[in-house]
Amino acid sequence: MNTLHTRFTRAFDLQTPIALAPMALASGGALAAACVHAGALGLVGGGYGELAWTQREYQLALDAVGVEQRKRLGLGFITWKLDEDASALAWALNLPVDQRPRAVMLSFGDPRPYAQRIAASGAKLLCQVQRLAQLAPALEAGAQIIIAQGAEAGGHGANALEGRATFTLVPEISDHLARHAPQTLLLAAGGVADGRGLAAALSLGADGVLVGSRLWASTESLAVAGAVAAALAASGDDTARSAVFDILRRKHWPAPYDFRALRNALHRQWETCLDDLRSDPQAARADYDAGVAAGDFSRAHTTVGEAVGLMSDVSGAQDLIARMTHEARARLLQTSAALGA
């Protein structure tokens, strides 16, 4: 029986306490819909807020799921990019009521300017944080769900000075919410790629998990095949968090955020001389651009977290979610039986 219920599953009528991370340019409509069909929350990766991409992929997801299943469908955005252009969010919130996202996830910035509009649309607000200090504005915004993102996560997250590990951040935020906002739900993110991680997150006080890298390497993902192949050949030792690929990709991320990806040859070339790269990036950017054009992932980036070492295949999202749920249930039952022995 591949069901596992928590406060989070009851909030969205899910069969498992798993949410798809809204990964920019990877979590498209097909992947979100597959997660919905698996009984998880499917979040389309609105990412940098590109309107045409968001419209196309969200509509794909809507068309692929039944009307009743739309309660499991939502969107995620980079908050500081909304400050520059919120047209994609405005489009989504103004859809007919039965098509609007039921969840909107905001990450990397102050959610308060958008909270009232999201609430008025009927969507639940999910806010991702990387430190305890970021909880106050998220709770003030009325977030129904907090996502505690550890620095193990792939893609963007808090840098080495500001980041926290999932294993300690989740229970600390859980304790804080229990004291100050007990109705607020909590998801764990960063390093969760199998049922062991899901069971551990629930044991630490989370109501569920946000899964990125593992679902990034699924058949429905929009991730480039060459990048996925590079990831499956890697271990967690092969990832690093730095500003290298943001500089090379001309992404002007604010402090305290940077980017975890495979530590490939181009990354290693520049990771210890970031000031030089920032001051004169033209040659390195040309090298990176050529790598992207050639599908050469010794130069192009592969966006994965430390959990990459737990990934060994590319499977359908429904199968991956069923496996995670089954393994988590088995682990939790084993623990309960051992404690009762």
Kindly report, residue by residue over 179-227, the tens digit of the pLDDT: 999 999 999 999 999 999 999 999 999 999 999 999 999 999 999 999 9
Kindly report, residue by residue over 238-291, the tens digit of the pLDDT: 999 999 999 999 999 999 999 999 999 999 999 999 999 999 999 999 999 999
Give the per-residue pLDDT at 89: 97
pLDDT > 60? residue 341: no
Each domain of the chain, given as residue ranges in start order, spans 7-223+314-340, 225-294
CATH second-level architecture of 7-223+314-340? Alpha-Beta Barrel (3.20)
- Convert the chain into a string of H (helix), E (strand) and C (coil): CCCCCCHHHHHHCCCCCEEECCCCCCCCHHHHHHHHHCCCEEEEEEECCCHHHHHHHHHHHHHHCCCHHHHHEEEEEEHHHHCCCCHHHHHHHCCCHHHCCCEEEEECCCCHHHHHHHHHHCCEEEEEECCHHHHHHHHHCCCCEEEEECCCCCEEEECCCCCCCHHHHHHHHHHHHHHHCCCCEEEEECCCCCHHHHHHHHHCCCCEEEECHHHHCECCCCCCHHHHHHHHCCCHHHEEEECHHHHHCCCCCCCCEEEEEECCHHHHHHCCCHHHHHHCCHHHHHHHHHHHHHCCCCCCCCCCCHHHHHCCCCECHHHHHHHHHHHHHHHHHHHHHHHHC
Kindly report, residue by residue over 14-67, the tens digit of the pLDDT: 999 999 999 999 999 999 999 999 999 999 999 888 999 999 999 999 999 999
Give the per-residue pLDDT at 337: 78
Kindly report, residue by residue over 169-188, the tens digit of the pLDDT: 999 999 999 999 999 999 99
Kindly report, residue by residue over 78-112, the tens digit of the pLDDT: 999 999 999 999 999 999 999 999 999 999 999 99
